[in-house]
Structure 1
């Protein structure tokens, strides 16, 4: 029997869960809105999707999303559908077309959210996965066990090349592990990537010569395929150690191309994520899509942060981070969750405690840059907050003997 992959959906429908699931099965495999003459029983046995499980979860008197079909009640449930792997082969773009194609707009559904994905080991093994992940990133950063501390160039946009290089110089001297371009800083004429990369790497290479440790800088190379290839090659020649891309906008095939093209770690930024995830009634959960990104080869994945500036709850953030750290089908190394969005010394300990480890990159912009004693103290405060978590001591208690942490928790409002 052919191996199968499966997807799980949280759905709502005015036509009954059984009928809605049958519509989904037909639309996403052998069928259409009517039975076809060529859709023989043998063909269906070979290629059709099938319903694996239906779990009713509730009922409503009104649709959660606009729905053309009317009904007195709208049934809610969790439905799992499976497909033969032979329908698509080991293709990530076609996996997405199957599990997230023409289904969110089907008339029989007043809500549909893709919440789970299971793939066989053979499918996962056909893809390279992260080249570095958490362990490889630690080795490049020279951080053996402690928290990995990073920041973002701020202001996000508008700095000159010299101003960017000057800020990098200050941060490298302060002992930062990781710096990244903001996703808005790309390759514009006011701060072109080649010139920015040359200036930044001159600074970081100089610091590496003095300290023996090179700060990782994730340059945003998001662009067309040819431009990404040129810029990845350029970064390698300059001695850079990371390339950043906007995952949602370069697409899975663009990510696969970059993974095959470069030996650099790939920093995956998920900007635009709210479009896919904000509604509980439509979209894709990050534990699903992160599997696609990891199989395609990204090493780092943004997952938001505890007490963040966006709409996601702490529970959603931790679930996302744990999913990035979890195995896929028994294979593929974990990626590195990137914790960011309004983070300060207050959130370091709760993040460590929630995950049970420090295999994440903790990125703070204002939490470092706006420390009352400057960026060096801001970085020290974050490291001290991690030490407090390891010692199982509250930051307020630990800060009595650590001036930088004391200044941080006095300056930044507790979440």
Structure 2
């Protein structure tokens, strides 16, 4: 693998302690800590020459006016070499570990917040991308001339499987194209997934017979990787039309599910508001 590919570039807002050193020194130590830490780099020296292509580095600093005291603040642009990261599996998760894994552990780093993130083209090409996307879902539904209408079952929690099936049927007959589980609903005692999935999938088929239109019902797989096979098999047996996952809570599950089914996968936006708004390109109603 070439070591000259474009880097993953991150912009951080930082606050550092004057007593601990200059901001560029503290940020450089952070770069070493995230990539090529050793006795030499911790002392502020360059890494061994053969490690240099894999070492993160500070590219630009923009200091903010000082308010006095011990704190200095500003913005730093840092490059993380794509060559140093895993190029198989879920490259996105590996990249985020490089960027934020232990960045805050550096002596003198008082605050560190990621405010922008640019992925290299090599990395983007390594990601599989959508299998269906919105065009694929339109094709499955046979709807091309208007917006698609998708909604979660309401109330979010509290009803029995038969009640949620009835709600799904009524919504689909009334004009919805897709009805999905709410992200809060997985496998509670009052609404077991093994009962809810077949009843709601059946409701979608009955709505198709009533309207003469294709409909979809989507099952939420939850965030517990240890129960994935169990829930996935329930969905297959029930004949659901798609699956929903929460990639910000369990990113690998999105890749895992994609490898197990040809059905559309809905990516819910849970936790999005805790992330910088520049990451909104992550959120797509139909990710795969």
SS at match of 1:336: coil
CA-to-aligned-CA distance 1:246-301 (integer Å, 9 cap, x gap): 2233x222222112112222222233445xx2xxxxxx42534xxxxxxxxxxxxx
Equivalent runs, 1:142-153 vs 2, <5 Å: 142-153=142-153
Which one of the candidate residues 4, 10, 16 is aligned to 1:2? 4
- 1:202: Cα distance to partner? 0.8
The answer to whether structure 1 residue 31 and structure 2 residue 37 are counterparts is: yes
Structure 1 205/272 Cα, relative in aligned 2: closer, same or farther at 3 Å?
Answer: same
Equivalent runs, 1:317-332 vs 2, <5 Å: 320=280, 323-324=281-282
TM-score of the two chains, using structure 2 as the length reference: 0.83
CA-to-aligned-CA distance 1:100-123 (integer Å, 9 cap, x gap): 101134442332221222222222
CA-to-aligned-CA distance 1:24-50 (integer Å, 9 cap, x gap): 211111126863699743134232111
Equivalent runs, 1:253-332 vs 2, <5 Å: 253-274=252-273, 277=274, 284-288=275-279, 320=280, 323-324=281-282
5+ residue gaps, structure 1: 62-71, 278-283, 289-319, 326-334, 339-415
- 1:163: Cα distance to partner? 0.8
Q: Is the 8 A contact 2:172 2:204 kept in 1?
A: yes
Partner residue of 1:347? none
Partner residue of 2:49? 42
CA distance in 1, matches of 2:234, 2:262: 12
CA distance in 1, matches of 2:58, 2:221: 42
TM-score of the two chains, using structure 1 as the length reference: 0.60
Partner residue of 2:81? 84
SS at match of 1:222: coil
SS at match of 1:111: strand
CA distance in 2, matches of 1:143, 1:215: 10
Q: Is the 8 A contact 2:141 2:177 kept in 1?
A: yes
5+ residue gaps, structure 2: none
CA RMSD between the two structures:
2.8
Greater shift in the superposed pair: 193-202 or 109-118: 109-118
